[in-house]
Amino acid sequence: MLLDLSEEHREHLAFLPQVDSAVVAEFGRIAVEFLRRGSNAKIYEGAARKLNVSSDTVQHGVEGLTYLLTESSKLMISELDFQDSVFVLGFSEELNKLLLQLYLDNRKEIRTILNELAPDLPTYHSLEWRLDVQLASRSLRQQIKPTVTFKLHLNHNGEHNTKVLQTDPATLLHLVQQLEQALEEMKTNHCRRVVRNIK
C-alpha cells in the first residue's frame, strides 16, 4: 500500500533536500519528540537560526516528516512500499535511504505513542433488560405505559461498572434504527478508509 500525500505535505517535505542528512536525522528526532510531548516553538526557532530560514519553514518540514512517519507507522507499510511512496517525491537516493532508516528505527515507538494517545473507553461486558407495563393507576383505570429498563455492565481498566438506563419502546426503536443505519454506513468505502487510517 502506497501513501497518498497531498500537495501541502509534499510542499512541507520539499524543504528536506535543501539541508544535509544530519539535519534531516535531527528533524526525525524532533518529529518523534513532537508526537511524545507536542509542538515546541523554541526548537523550531533555534533550528531556523542555525539554518538561516524562517521558523515556519522548519516547523512545516518537521510536521511533514511527522505526518510521513505516523501515517507509515499506522498503516505498517513495508520497506518497499515506503520507498515507493517517498520515491515519487523526487528526493535523492541518499535522502530516500535516510528517510527509510528513520521509519524503520522509529515505527514501533511511533505505534506505541499512537496507541497511548488513543482514547481509553469502557468496553461492553453484558446486558440485562426488563420490560415493565403499567396497566392502570389510581387516577387512570385503563392505561398502558410500557417501560424498558437496561442494566449495562461495562469493563474499564479491569474494573466492572454498571449503568442503569430506562426508556420507552418508541425511543428504543428509534435508537435501534439509528444504530442499524450507522452499521450500514460503516460498510461504505469512505468509512472503511477512515477506519483503516485510524488503526
Distances (CA, A) of 3 to 24, 75, 89, 96, 183: 20, 9, 11, 15, 27
Which residues are registered as beta bridge partners of 132?
147
Q: Give the pLDDT confidence score for residue 102 in this predicted structure.
A: 85
Q: What DSSP assignment string belongs to 93-146?
A: HHHHHHHHHHHHHHHHHHHHHHHHHS----EEEEEEEEEEEE---SS-SS--EE
Ramachandran angles phi, psi of 89, nearest 5°: -80, -15
Condensed to tens digits (0 to 9), the pLDDT of residues 128-173 reads 999 999 888 777 778 888 999 999 999 988 899 999 999 999 999 9
In angstroms, the CA 180 to CA 139 distance is: 39
Instruction: Calculate helix-pair angle for 55-75, 93-117, nearest 10 degrees.
Output: 70
- What is the model's pTM? 0.59
Query: pLDDT under 50 in the chain at which residues?
Result: none
Q: Give the pLDDT confidence score for residue 127 in this predicted structure.
A: 94
Ramachandran angles phi, psi of 118, nearest 5°: -65, 145
Q: Is 39 helix (H, G, I), strand (E, B) or coil?
A: coil
Contact call for residues 96 and 24 (beta carbons, < 8 A) = no
Q: Give the pLDDT confidence score for residue 173 in this predicted structure.
A: 94
